[in-house]
Amino acid sequence: MCACMCQHIQLEWVEASHLEPETKSSDPTAYEAAWTRLRAADGIIVPGGFGTRGVEGMMLAAHYARTHRVPYFGICLGMQVGCTHTHTHTYTHTPAYSLTTSLQCRHLRGLEARVCVCVCVCVYSAFLLGVS
């Protein structure tokens, strides 16, 4: 079943790295502003990205969405982050890392307490409707 609702959507951009604990000490104003915007959102969209910058902030956004029952839509890396977070906190309770962020995985090889996984197994269907 599909529903089409013509609604105005207001986007608030939040820099993912501003959600990370390091920003709290280096730039407390940016940290508080980012978390204030995230907490005020009715839904969270996490887009794709490249490299590891901001991935921890994306994980924190996914965690916030899951624990506060806020709708979360991940696109590309955003979906991998959401799947990795869900795997870590729902199934294994040990940190899982996407191979997309393989820089994190390199230092984990040989550690039994952590798991490196490829989250490409997350399959989902998304339907986007255009309204003219």
- At 46, is the secondary structure helix, strand, or coil? strand
Cα of first residue to Cα of last residue in the chain, in angstroms, is 20
Q: Match 């390199």 to its residue by tokens.
A: 106
How confident is the model over 28-58, as pLDDT tens digits? 999 999 999 999 999 999 988 777 788 889 9
Domains and CATH numbers, the chain: 16-121 (3.40.50.880)
How confident is the model over 74-101, as pLDDT tens digits? 888 888 888 877 777 776 656 555 544 4
pLDDT above 90 (res 6): no
- Burial of 89-102, coded b for 16+ CB within 10 Å and e otherwise, reads beeeeebbbbebbe
pTM: 0.67
